[in-house]
Amino acid sequence: MANIVIIGAQWGDEGKGKIVDMLSAESQVIERFQGGANAGHTIKAGGRETVLHLLPSGILWPDALCLIGNGVVLDPEVFLEEIDALQAEGIDASPRRLAVSAKAHLILPYHKALDKAREAKRAGSKIGTTGRGIGPCYEDKAARIGLRAGDLARPDLVRAKIRHALLEKNILLTGLYKFDAIDADRTADALLALAPRLLPYITDTDALVHKAIQENKAILFEGAQGVHLDIDHGTYPFVTSSNTVSAGACCGTGVAPSAISEVIGVAKAYTTRVGSGPFPTELNDDTGSYLQAQGHEFGATTGRPRRCGWLDAVILRESVRLNGIDRLALTKLDVLQNLPQLKICVAYELDGKRMDYPPQGEGELAAVKPVYETFPGFEDDISGCRKYGDLPEEARAYIERIEELTGVPAGYISVGPGRDQTIIRQVA
């Protein structure tokens, strides 16, 4: 069966939740492999809207096994809150069908405090993080002082690790950032109080996913954020702290590259970005405001307005190269309806030179000039289109140019938030 990695091909918020939810209908296992509660995956189904920050989007399908891999940084409170919210809606989020890797690192209050303290201190060059403690938790992982989910079974180890971490962090928090110190014993008590609820979920997810592979089950690996927020390949330093590229699915779950059969890159039909950082096609004008209003472009995690701009085929081309994207899922095409003209950035210019791929040096992307092609817009309401041929000719021309520029077919075209508002194309 197909083992599919789904990643965001832009700067996050591409509508991955909807595509994962749709493909979950045909999958037996859905596993998240990186990021944490900084994600915001919105799913509209059965007349209700569900926003998930941490749990895999497949949780809404009752028969799917949902896993949180070792590459995720898990906020225990958010995890339990999401479970409670789902259970209140009658959705089973019990350990029968939801499991967390014992190797996943835990986000603690001091990670969130440090995230906020650093941002407050970064005069003029804020990353615009979600404040969810993501960066500081991955730092502890790399520094080899992190607390992992499996440690919860050993209260003495939890206490010792928290005390050790806070020795250093309290100096930073109080001395440098002028924040309050965090009490180690109280932090450990609060976490250990949650342990009886958390422990039944914590297990060897590597074994579960490998068993699923051996049994020829269909597995979806659900990415969070987007390629250009990748810690290595993104617009550093305005990035998140994990590998958001498709290869992250292997490191973040313990599955080998040879087990992956397909990569789907989800891209909005235009571009958005939350937080700081270069954005060559950003529109600080009425068209940008129109896209923001029509697309309800406000962050699902922080509520911040998303910056909006034209589709950038240069960053998409790089996403295809970095991820081995086989098919694109193009989302929110309906948001473009009624615009008189559409533009696609087909290349950049930097110091008089034309570039087909983004420059690699820090800060250089901020200096490029987008080269645009202009297309006629479409006025028809496309939200009811269910077949590719139903789309107006102008919309098809726009899609086909994106396919030409990126070299990959658009296998899914989303024309509204509903599960059924998706055109599925048979592509080679």
Q: What are the catalytic residues? A: 13, 41
- Here the contacts of 52-56 (C-beta below 8 Å, separation 24 or greater) are 52/17, 52/82, 53/78, 53/82, 53/300, 53/301, 54/78, 54/79, 54/82, 55/79, 55/82, 55/83, 55/86, 55/93, 55/98, 56/20, 56/30, 56/31, 56/32, 56/222
Of the candidates 38, 70, 243, 271, which one interacts with ligand IMP according to CB under 6 A?
38
- Cβ proximity to ligand IMP: between 129 and 187 the closer is 129
Contact between 235 and ligand IMP by CB under 6 A: the answer reads no
Cα 314 → chain centroid:
20
The answer to whether the Cα torsion of 303, 305, 307, 310 is positive or negative is positive
Does residue 275 touch ligand IMP according to CB under 6 A? yes
User: Torsions phi, psi of 419, nearest 5?
Assistant: -55, -40
Please say whether the beta carbons of 86 and 93 come within 8 A: yes
Q: How far is the CB of 280 from ligand IMP (least distance, A)?
A: 16
Residues 6+ apart with CB under 8 A from 273: 10, 11, 12, 279, 282, 306, 307, 309
Residue 134 as a binder of ligand IMP (CB under 6 A): the answer is yes
The partner residues of 376 in beta bridges, in order of sequence, read 341
Binding flag, residue 40, ligand IMP (CB under 6 A): yes
CB of 51 to ligand IMP, least distance (A): 11
Would you say 244 and 34 are in contact if contact means Cβ atoms under 8 Å apart? yes
Question: How far from 243 is each of 34, 230, 246, 250, 305, CA to CA, in Å?
Answer: 7, 5, 8, 10, 25
Considering only 33-41, 174-182, 287-295, 308-316, which stretch makes contact with ligand IMP by CB under 6 A?
33-41
Q: How far is the CB of 139 from ligand IMP (least distance, A)?
A: 11
**83 belongs to the binding site for ligand IMP (CB under 6 A):** no
Residue whose structure tokens are 């077949």: 387
Chain positions 383 to 402 lying near ligand IMP, rule: CB under 6 A, are none
Which residue number, 229 or 311, has a Cβ lying nearer to ligand IMP? Answer: 229
Instruction: Residue 262: name the closest of 224, 220, 228, 225 by CA.
Output: 220
CB of 35 vs ligand IMP, minimal distance in Å: 7
Binding to ligand IMP by CB under 6 A, coded x per residue (else -) over 88-107, reads --------------------
203 or 302: CB nearest ligand IMP: 302
Nearest to 170 by CA among 180, 155, 160, 185: 180
414 φ, ψ to 5°? -100, 130
Residues binding ligand IMP: what is the number (CB under 6 A)? 20
Identify any residues that bridge with 330 across adjacent strands, giving them in sequence order.
Answer: 267, 413
Asked whether 98 and 282 are in contact (CB, 8 A), the reply is no
Are the beta carbons of 250 and 290 closer than 8 angstroms? no
Check binding of 13 to ligand IMP (CB under 6 A).
yes
Say whether residue 278 binds ligand IMP (CB under 6 A).
no
Kindly state the DSSP code that residue 335 receives in the 8-state scheme. G
129 binds ligand IMP (CB under 6 A): yes
- Interface with ligand IMP includes 331 (CB under 6 A)? no
Site for ligand IMP in 205-234 (CB under 6 A): 224-225, 229
Examine residue 252 and tell whether it contacts ligand IMP (CB under 6 A).
Answer: no
Comparing CB distances to ligand IMP, the nearer of 268 and 317 is: 268
Binding segment toward ligand IMP, per CB under 6 A, in 60-68, 92-100, 132-140, 371-379: 132-140
The answer to whether residue 241 forms part of the interface with ligand IMP (CB under 6 A) is yes
Give least dist CB 54 to ligand IMP, A: 11
Cβ–Cβ under 8 Å, residues 238 and 276: yes
Question: Smallest gap, in angstroms, from Cβ of residue 146 to ligand IMP?
Answer: 16
The DSSP symbol for 74 reads E
Residue at shortest CB range from ligand IMP: 275
Question: Quick one: 17 or 370, whose CB is closer to ligand IMP?
Answer: 17
Binding site for ligand IMP (CB under 6 A): 12-13, 38-40, 127-130, 132, 134-135, 224-225, 229, 238, 240-241, 274-275
